[in-house]
Amino acid sequence: MTTTTTGNRWRLGAPDWVRWGFVAFPLIISIPYLTGWWAWALFGVTLVASAPLLPAAPGSRPAWVLPAAMPVVVAAAGALWVLDPNSWMSVAMFSTTFYTLRTFGRALTAVVLVSSAVAIVAWAVVHRLDWLNALALFAILIVMVLLAASRRDRAARLEQTELALARAQTATEEHARAAALAERARIAREVHDVLAHSLAGLALNLQGARLMLVRDGASPEAVAQIERAQKLASDGLSEARKAVAALREDAVPAQRAVADLLAGYRLDTGARADLVVAGEPRDLDAGVTTALVRAVQEALSNTRKHAPGVDVDVTLAFAESHVELTVLDRQGRRPPDAPTAGYGLRGMAERVALLEGKLDSGPGEDGWRIHLTVPA
């Protein structure tokens, strides 16, 4: 298992090595041509600023380091390119510019574009480049902008498609659940109207027969047989009523459903998973119960995916006007910030928003924390 995980991390980190190589390789080639302390200073700045491009373990460095380093790499590589026109430092500048355009926000991309444009203008002026070649360099910059915009649009379309598919699947599941509930209600009506009524009539008739036998002085054995038959009919009626109640039940109590989910997590992982119930438990609306249960399901799913085998603490607090749910996985360290919210967290937020509740999700001091409050 450890070997497989390491292999996956290496494959995920391979593009980072490639991006860093587009900066490091031109730097290595330019070493024989570096003259003067300023050239070596730019060399050092470019090399150090490109270090965040290397793959790193999650949470090993602040999230702001990589975006802050990109303008420095572009500016320093552009300056080295101007100083040494025969070097390959333009590759480092253009590749880092494209990566920034494709990955980061508008403010950072604007800074990087301005830095690249200034480097092109400086190169053209210092080396007396004719206007046609200068336009060709700017054309490269424009092509990169268009390619980056195309990649962003494609990624956005894929995300929208996945979101639409997820919503369609959710709608299908809800329709199937509604159909199942309708069938359960139909069966409950049939059991109540036919079996329960028949058993109730049978019990009453047996009671009347017992009274007649006692009145007519029948043998004790005959009376005992009628009493046993009456008891069986009464027990059958009680069980039929329980079956009707179970069929008409829309959802189990929230605390019991959450406890079942934690029991499944303990069986799957062998880790500790505790539930603390505060306040006085009570029956909740089906929508509130569903939101709470789905939140725990999503939290446990994310824990299995991102921090397998860690302990989990769940607190379910009942107040007069609302219910609070807190799920915390005990990773023993502060997890890294998620780059974007996944579809599970988005669906959870949408479900809570429909109930006019509040959802907070993010890294805590020793693990990932999900806290939601819904009116009840």
- Whether the full predicted model's pTM is greater than 0.75, yes or no, is no
Q: What is the mean pLDDT of the chain?
A: 80
258-283: pLDDT as tens digits: 887 887 777 667 788 899 999 888 88
Give tens-digit pLDDT for 217-248.
888 888 888 888 877 777 676 676 666 666 66
Q: Decide: 326 and 369 in contact? Cβ < 8 Å.
A: yes
The ranges assigned to domains in the chain are 2-129, 179-248, 254-375
pLDDT attached to residue 7 = 38
Q: Which long-range contacts (CB under 8 A, 24 or more apart) does 206-210 make?
A: 206/230, 206/233
Backbone angles phi, psi at 29, to 5 degrees: -65, -30
Q: Which residues pair with 358 in a beta bridge?
A: 373
Work out the pLDDT band at 339, boundaries 50, 70, 90.
low
The pLDDT-based confidence of 323 (bands split at 50, 70, 90) is: very high
Q: Please, which pLDDT band fits residue 216 given cuts at 50, 70 and 90?
A: confident
Topology given in CATH for the domain delimited by 254-375:
Heat Shock Protein 90 (3.30.565)
Q: How confident is the model at residue 344 (pLDDT cuts 50, 70, 90)?
A: low
| pLDDT exceeds 80 at position 109 | yes
Residue 219's φ and ψ, nearest 5 degrees, are -65, 150
Q: In what order do the strands lie in the sheet with 273-278?
A: 273-278, 311-318, 322-330, 368-375, 358-363
Q: What pLDDT is attached to residue 169?
A: 84
Paired tokens of 355: 């109930």
How many CB atoms within 10 Å of residue 48? Answer: 13
Q: Is 243 helix (H, G, I), strand (E, B) or coil?
A: helix
